[in-house]
A = this chain, B = another copy of it.
């Protein structure tokens, strides 16, 4: 097995890091079906508008979402369409963890 250069893992980690916040995951879930403006996402997340804007900047910088300006509004939309596999993997981890915790309790 040939070892990948450290930059390879840094690039991967950057994407994972962008996915590593509950508010951003909530945003991505909302964007899965349709594009939304910052105002809608702000109401959805329930945080300050500037906070949501910075979360969106993180997602944009990671290349996960894309932006479309229309007058005063700014619409964000999913740029990639492969997160299902990621979620499936994450859920399997969570499910396994729950199972292990139950087993540890002797249930």
Contacts and interface: CB of A to CB of B under 8 A. Distances in A.
Interface of A: 1, 4, 6, 9-13, 15-17, 19-26, 29, 33, 62-64, 79-80, 82-83, 85-94, 96-97, 100
A12 B67 CA distance: 25
B88 A15 contact: no
B82 A92 contact: yes
Contact of A16 (B33, B85, B90, B97): B90
29 contacts: A4-B29, A9-B22, A9-B25, A9-B26, A10-B22, A12-B22, A12-B87, A12-B91, A13-B21, A13-B25, A16-B17, A16-B19, A17-B17, A63-B93, A63-B94, A63-B96, A63-B97, A63-B100, A64-B93, A80-B89, A80-B92, A80-B93, A80-B96, A82-B85, A82-B88, A82-B92, A82-B93, A83-B89, A85-B86
